[in-house]
Amino acid sequence: MKIRVLGTAAGGGSPQWNCSCVQCARARRAGPPSWRTQDSLAVSGTGDTWYLVNASPDVRAQILLAPELTPRPGTRETPLRGVLLSSAELDHTIGLAVLREGAPLNVYAPPAVIGALSSAFPLRDVLAPYADHRWHAVEPGDPLRLDERLVVTAVSLGDKRPRYARGLPGRDWVVAYSIEDEVTGRRLVYAPNLASWPEEFDKAAAGADVLIADGTFWSDDELRRATRTPPRTAPTPPRATVMGHLPVAGPGGVGERLAALPGGRRLLTHLNNTNPLLDATSDQSLALASSSVEVAADGMVLEL
């Protein structure tokens, strides 16, 4: 299995267009090589055909920077065959609107996510006259064959809905994807949004050769502390856990959970632009480095 990490930032990217918090200001000073696009991954069994996990608003730039995703000679010969959606969040779906221009694409998502994209955020219907997107419902626990080598299984991560979809029914609003290469027997688990750490997910994570998990916030109150510039008129920003992200630090945090898993490589993605892990010299980065957990990077290539 071939993997290219396309983006590793949470919604807004790093730096964020309207922000000069400590981390955004540092990223601007460091310049474009240090910048991070919004989380997405490209995966392939053979290297001939590719699938994205999530379609970020940055997908066009991400594809242009990925040699594996260069169109073959001809006019519409993209090796991209489909997109798996792990949630209906804007930062995971808006890229579908960028992927038009006549290439047929398979879109895989849990029924609740397809429901949201056919109602509260009707991307599916809006795009129908522009793009040949073929939608497929993914049920957690039901293995799905992607190509001649890759089999993917969704693992439910619960019912955390996007803000725009608060009133909508359904379950399995957020999933992780466990992707296995039948030839090498090796397995990737991708989980950029972890509101909790369910038992089923723990089982899927335990034997993974590579696990890439939610590293949005270092601490639960990070957003309110990083964006607090008195006098304050704006509403107090929510806690990480309220936003659907277990923090990395602390008891039961993603860092501790990852470090406790047997074997395999463990990486963090979907980092918010306020996260001190974006600064490799911060105390938090040094603390993480002493565990076996890494921070994923845009453009990172892995082979399993």
Binding site for ligand MLT (CB under 6 A): 10-11, 89-91, 193, 243-244
Comparison of 10 and 105: residue with beta carbon closer to Zn ion: 10
Q: With CB cut-offs between 5 and 8 Å by kind, which of Zn ion, ligand MLT, Mn ion, none does residue 253 bind?
A: none
Span 262-281, contacts to Zn ion by CB under 5 A: 273
Q: CA 165, CA 185: separation in Å to the nearest integer?
A: 38
- Tell me if 112 sits within 8 A of 168, measured CB to CB: yes
| Residue number, 88 or 179, with CB nearest to ligand MLT | 88
Give me the least distance between CB of 186 and ligand MLT, in Å please: 28
Q: Name the β-bridge partners of 68.
A: none
Query: Could you tell me if 65 and 299 are in contact, meaning their C-beta atoms sit under 8 angstroms apart?
Result: yes
Least spacing, CB of residue 155 vs Mn ion, in Å: 18
19 binds Zn ion (CB under 5 A): yes
Token representation of residue 113: 């996510």
Measured from each CB, the residue nearest to ligand MLT is 11
Using CB distances below 5 to 8 A depending on partner kind, what does residue 244 bind out of ligand MLT, Zn ion, Mn ion, none?
ligand MLT
Is 79:68 a contact under the CB 8 Å cutoff? yes
C-alpha–C-alpha distance, residues 108 and 128, integer Å: 16
Identify which of residues 174 and 267 has a Cβ nearer to ligand MLT in the complex: 174
Residues 1, 3, 10, 21: which binds Zn ion (CB under 5 A)?
21
Residue 184 CA to residue 94 CA, distance in Å, equals 33
Contact 23, 230 (CB under 8 A): no
- Which residues in this chain contact Zn ion in the complex, by CB under 5 A? 16, 19, 21, 24, 273
